[in-house]
Amino acid sequence: MAVRHSDALVKQLAVLLLGGRRVTALTGAGVSTESGIPDFRSPQDGLWHQADPRRLASISGLRADPQSFYAFWRWRFGRLAEAEPNSCHRVLAAMEAKGLLAAVITQNIDGLHRRSGSKRVLEVHGTYEQCHCLDCSADYPAPLLWQNLDRGQIPRCGLCGGLIKPRVVLFEEAMPPVFEEAVAEIQRSDRLLVLGSSLEVYPVAGLVPTSHARGAQIAIVNREPTPYDHLAAVVIHRQLGEVMAQLAEELSLPVR
């Protein structure tokens, strides 16, 4: 059978990864769309075409209109809780198990990398599975938040009365300490595999030029072009599920 152009690109991707001393993956919402979780910026079904990010995903939005903020996140978390890892998550976990991947840096808050068996996962935008007080940062179990919302109550901190929010990084919020670890991981790696990210959200998108500047080879797999495609040695504009299944074959990984 003749090799299609895109198959040749996946072979190039495998060669690039196998030639690395230390490979790190950087993932975005696109790795979870095939698990049924909408991303933010896809042209048709991205969440930001239906919702206003400044109001529903920012600190000022939470303070100004907690009702709308909580209604949106409650709906969203229902979707997240139902989702299962897909083949992209599984291939990354299998790569790590085989010593072909050092870490996954993810912008996703859905926990699916951890659930699929990846061990070193740097969740630089936090996780929906934990909650904390916006004012004093006290930790709260996530179910408490949802129980309050189910009763129609605004969830407030027992210590200071502040609003309780999921431990996800909102607009206007500082990055968590794990972001420094991600930067260090990028500095140590000579290969960067970017999957399913529009690379429009900073400071995470800035990890790509940082990686390039330190001499790493970069591969990007994303349905649409990104602002950093020109820095990558391999760019594949296709659906991740297909590409990762082919990559698993190229790397002889036992994944379906």
- Restricting to residues 41-100, name those near ligand NAD by CB under 6 A: 41-42, 46
DSSP letter for 153, please.
P
Q: Applying CB under 5 A, which of residues 64, 136, 144, 213 lies at the interface with Zn ion?
A: 136
The site map against ligand NAD for 180-199 (x = CB under 6 A) is: ----------------xxx-
DSSP letter for 30, please.
G
* Binding residue count for ligand NAD, defined by CB under 6 A: 27
| Shortest spacing between CB 25 and ligand NAD, in angstroms | 13
Under rule CB under 5 A, residue 159 binds Zn ion: yes
CB atoms within 10 A of CB 22: 13
Considering CB distances under 5 to 8 angstroms, the limit depending on partner class, which of Zn ion, ligand NAD, none binds residue 136? Answer: Zn ion
Alpha-carbon distance of 183 to 162, in angstroms, equals: 31
The closest of 139, 141, 109 to 125, measured between CA atoms, is 109
202, amino acid identity:
Y
Is residue 230 flagged as an active site residue? no
Alpha-carbon distance of 9 to 54, in angstroms, equals: 38
Residue 19 tokens, joined: 């030639």
Residue 253 tokens, joined: 């990984």
Under rule CB under 6 A, residue 123 binds ligand NAD: no
Q: Is 26 exposed, middle or buried (0-12, 13-18, 19+ CB in 10 A)?
A: buried
| Shortest spacing between CB 40 and ligand NAD, in angstroms | 3
| Shortest spacing between CB 190 and ligand NAD, in angstroms | 23
- The residue ranges that bind ligand NAD (CB under 6 A) are 28-30, 32-34, 37, 39-42, 46, 107-110, 125, 196-198, 200-201, 222-224, 239-240
- The residue ranges that bind Zn ion (CB under 5 A) are 133, 135-136, 138, 157, 159-160, 162
